[in-house]
Structure 1
Amino acid sequence: MSQKQRLDLAELLQKVHDYSGLAHKADIARIAPSLTALPDGWHPNGDDTAAIPCSEGYTLLAMEGLLTAFVAVDPWFAGWCSVMVNVSDIAAMGGRPQAIVNALWSHDPESAELIVKGMREAADTFRIPIVGGHTNLRSNQPQLAVGILGRAQCLLSSFGARPGQLLVAAIDLRGAYQAPYLNWNAATTAPAERLRGDIELLPCIAEAGLAIAAKDISQAGLLGTTLMLMESANVGVNIKLDAIPKPEKVTWQDWLCTFPSYGYLLTTDHEHLPMLLERFHARGIAAAQIGEIASSPQLWVATNDDRQLFHDLSTTPLTGLSRPQMPTPQQEL
């Protein structure tokens, strides 16, 4: 590969690093030192949801706040996404969603109605009741936050990633961008029954022991989400760019900055890889091994004979939420 081509990969990764939602994730580091220690036996902060031990596994609790500009530009889709992203967080932990609450502010009753309509239609799609919340229609701008409750028998946790495991990406490519943002919408026009079955894959995978760690691909994009998984477990990752499932006509720069409606990173052992991939392929979801977990907390990306460092957590932490001595979820139960 020529020097020009090598510089192209470095330029791509720099653009992705600058564009992705890493700055939003880095904001967590300002707050993390103020968090008090959790009770003994509780799952640590830093995963996709809180995981509170109970008699039958874990109670899961999560919340998502949506960008104000997004809510203002596309209120119905923002309402839909507010439910979908919370469902994805519960699934990424190996759980099943149970109930939703919300906090809605708006200065425009019609916009507020569209937001709630989107939330209700998504809740109906996933068969999750909206059980309460807070409403203020006298705000100077639209804002939306949604919380969700779930249950998990067996956890998929970022803290479970270990060197030697394989990194898998599973993404539903049957969609299109929802302008004006890089949101890959493979949900709102899909059959509801199929969406429910696709979400059910994650708890079934957890209960079958086919994966150890997982995160849903968030606003930080695939590489930014990988960094968050790495930081939790204090590990590194080597990624093969060309192995990442991607729509044919989408550029790498856009795709690596994309927030997919159905996208997960999972770690697994070599012997479980074929069965894990088959679970996704059987439902028409693109899934592939895209890398390996390493011991040094650096994220490297390679294509052909070029290899570039995307981020080094040993010199530049992201969220500050890391627990090197964390036992695996199987040991906790």
Structure 2
Amino acid sequence: MTRARSTIDSPRPDWLDQLREEIIEPDLPIIDPHHHLWTRHDGYLLDDILADAGDGHDVVATVFVQCRYAHRTDGPVPLQPVGETEAVRAIAEAGEARPGAPRIAAGIVGFADLTLGDAVDEVLEAHIAAAGGRFRGIRHITANEPSFESALLPVDPGIMASAPFRAGFARLAAQGLSYDSWLYHPQIPQLTDLARAFPDTAIVLDHVGGPLGIGRFTGLEREVFDSWKRALTDLATCPNVSVKLGGLGMDITGVTWARNPQPPGSQEMADRFRPYVETAIELFGPSRCMFESNFPVDKVSSSYHVLFNAFKRLASGASDDEKRLLFHDTAARVYRLSL
């Protein structure tokens, strides 16, 4: 069994500080549509995300995505995840008191157990009430791959096709909410089937669909890419699906940067990410793609300013309008952010 360490290891500031790059296109506005906040490991809270987002790039706002942070420890179990939304709202409001700071957690994506079916409405409404106008959607993680150990909670491999999950999923559009999907690349066809069954529900594929490079996929980079591309090509026919470009610094993808003496530069990262990022943009178009940090998870592999330099290298051939979509406008539209 191979452990997916990048989902549980802590970033190493001294290691990251070995590399400093000049910021590419420092005036390009950015909405970071995917980061976490938590107290586990060394912690990652307001000061941490502000330090990263303020490290040279013009980050104007962010979207928080659920990570089992600050769940309530008492009361009805289905409502316990609302504690995360309450805590993140407090952090967002504290950030708004910082003059000139990015709007941290301008959008919040929380967790609700969609297998509750129609009963999930109570949880969704509690999240909306707790968020102070910031609540945008639900992420119910469905990532499942038995060939390696993961820090994620166990998941029924057929959950996306189950009647209870779909009954709960049907309530998202009714509540004006979107769905973030975190799965691994062999599961993309299941998401395609779900997207076709619910064409009025906005779906966001996190981390370009989780291409794997460990467990039974170790050393099979070409085969993984080909399988991922076939599945993504089919998914792209669903107009209600958008894609986050990022999450490729996790070592479940097969990268080993965190084990090297020095962190990678943005060119090395761009070269590694290019096949997946360029293919996703070609299939979905800039209006359905958005660059994401996935911090602090991807901070195991690189600093924030180097990561976004890599993204800007990948977008160097795009027009100004396309860059604005990839770095700002798609995220603003998908998460309904009025900035």
What TM bracket, shorter-length normalisation?
under 0.3
| Structure with the higher strand share, 1 or 2 | 1
TM-score by length of 1: 0.25
Relative to its length, the structure with more helix (as a share) is: 2
